[in-house]
Structure 1
């Protein structure tokens, strides 16, 4: 027995002496999050003719994100001169729009004019005949499509796609507070108006966010799609990459392609309104 015991001990000692020591695991620093926040000011928008076939009578278009001439989703600004009125026409794709400046009428060619002011929202179904008119010193609308290209066609190409147009005057926008949604903190005193939600199970939705006067806080977003257009008022936006502060006026835009914190300040004594398109949730914090 003793001999066997000595052999076992000897073998154990030999194994322990030849076994490699495991390196000490070093705790690495957490991965640095690279901010994707981006701002485009209204003054940086490049304008082109929206419908080149109409020459000088064409409204102007300035792409904000995407490419309206390609097949991708796109957001762009449309600018109309005072007194503009289009001939009856159709579009090959459905679009949504928000009045940024001036007064816009968009309806059936035989409908009485309903002038929608800043902060109004409308949709135009693909294939439906309509006219668009504008009046005011400066008339700008934000237009977005889920896929392109965005084309203007004559009414003899009209077709029925099953959708119906929506026209919501700014005075008819329904606002909710933190009592009705957890997207807004109680302290922020912000409000939200849910406008539309996609039926394609992609999570896309669009809504207004109203930030009160003297608001200082954050809009936290978690979607990989996030587009925000300033519709009304003025905001100071701080870029997290370099702490640079951008002053946003109506038509200015900010975005992110990942989870992000958007730090904004409303130094004015009037409300500021944003239109947001995203496939995630947001949280407005004071």
Structure 2
């Protein structure tokens, strides 16, 4: 209970800032997972390297970026480092990310990890069909040899999906829908501060995510919810798809009747989850 109480305290101050009125739609960007263009993550290794598909930003630029990572079958990287730190979310299959000598800790879909810059590690995937979302706050994203390792002072996190702490409508005012839950992963849940969270919508959920954040992005981690645009057009969002908005926005979403949906959300402001009446 202690961890849950800490998360409730972190969000209590921000809850009072949530707007009472339903926000109006703004420009919303949708990127379907099927639309991404795949390139080799490490061109020097060719087909031996995972493929990467950018969802937002520029992986070779200097700013923040989010991209999908698709490892080949039974992939295991050589020991290496990165010049920048990153966060990862498992979308399909299982992923292992740790020191070269560590026992395999296979993280299933819905799990979360961080990799500090400069730290030697390996990344592996068992079987075929694994998929992950990778997020960086600065670029470019480079793969470098282990002999260039350095200590950034950061420490890695490997969070199995079963160890996430979920907050419900009984815990926080962000949620106004039975069965919905939020797990805060990183950052400060204060207006203007970047943070990341998992949002779990129960099977059959029909409602909206309301936000006034300057930066709001959501990646479908599990399930295939339907999304309805302000024009009335409705389409399915497969796992790995991305939704982005700037400013006051309404994201109308419906989970499948027989399957819950989980979204990873990166934002710099509060959001509300409201079920249709």
Q: Same fold (TM over 0.5)?
A: yes
1:156 aligned counterpart, secondary structure: helix
Structure 2: which 5+ residue stretches go unaligned? 1-23
For 1:59 and 1:35, the matched residues in 2 are separated by: 35
2:226 equivalent in structure 1: 236
1:53 equivalent in structure 2: 44
Higher relative contact order (CA closer than 8 Å, sequence separation 6+):
2
Residues 97 and 123 in structure 2, CA contact (< 8 A), matched pair in contact too: yes
1:137 aligned counterpart, secondary structure: coil
Following TM superposition, by how much is the alpha carbon of 1:189 offset from its aligned partner in structure 2, in angstroms? Answer: 2.3
For 2:89 and 2:188, the matched residues in 1 are separated by: 17
Say yes or no: does 1:153 pair with 2:144: yes
1:138 aligned counterpart, secondary structure: coil
**Per-residue CA distance 1:171-211 (angstroms, 9 max, x = gap):** 111111011111001x3420000000059995000000000
1:207 corresponds, among 177, 190, 197, to 197
Residues 219 and 241 in structure 2, CA contact (< 8 A), matched pair in contact too: yes
1:170 corresponds, among 143, 161, 166, to 161
For 1:198 and 1:89, the matched residues in 2 are separated by: 30
Say yes or no: does 1:266 pair with 2:227: no
1:68 corresponds, among 56, 59, 76, to 59
For 1:200 and 1:125, the matched residues in 2 are separated by: 24
Residues 190 and 210 in structure 1, CA contact (< 8 A), matched pair in contact too: yes
Matches within 5 A, 1:91-170: 91-170=82-161
1:141 aligned counterpart, secondary structure: strand
For 2:252 and 2:191, the matched residues in 1 are separated by: 30
1:253 corresponds, among 232, 242, 248, to 242
Q: Residues 268 and 67 (structure 1 numbering): CA distance in 2 closer, same or farther, change over 3 Å?
A: same
Say yes or no: does 1:280 pair with 2:269: yes
Residues 188 and 217 in structure 1, CA contact (< 8 A), matched pair in contact too: no
2:45 aligned counterpart, secondary structure: helix
Residues 64 and 77 in structure 1, CA contact (< 8 A), matched pair in contact too: yes
2:184 corresponds, among 194, 213, 223, to 194
Say yes or no: does 1:179 pair with 2:170: yes
What root-mean-square deviation, in Å, do the aligned CA atoms of Structure 1 and Structure 2 show? Answer: 1.6
Following TM superposition, by how much is the alpha carbon of 1:58 offset from its aligned partner in structure 2, in angstroms? Answer: 1.2
Runs of 4 or more consecutive aligned structure 1 residues displaced over 6 Å after TM superposition: none
Rg larger in structure? 1
1:136 aligned counterpart, secondary structure: coil
TM-score by length of 1: 0.85
For 1:51 and 1:69, the matched residues in 2 are separated by: 12
For 2:223 and 2:250, the matched residues in 1 are separated by: 20
Q: Residues 228 and 196 (structure 1 numbering): CA distance in 2 closer, same or farther, change over 3 Å?
A: same
Structure 1: which 5+ residue stretches go unaligned? 1-32
TM-score by length of 2: 0.88
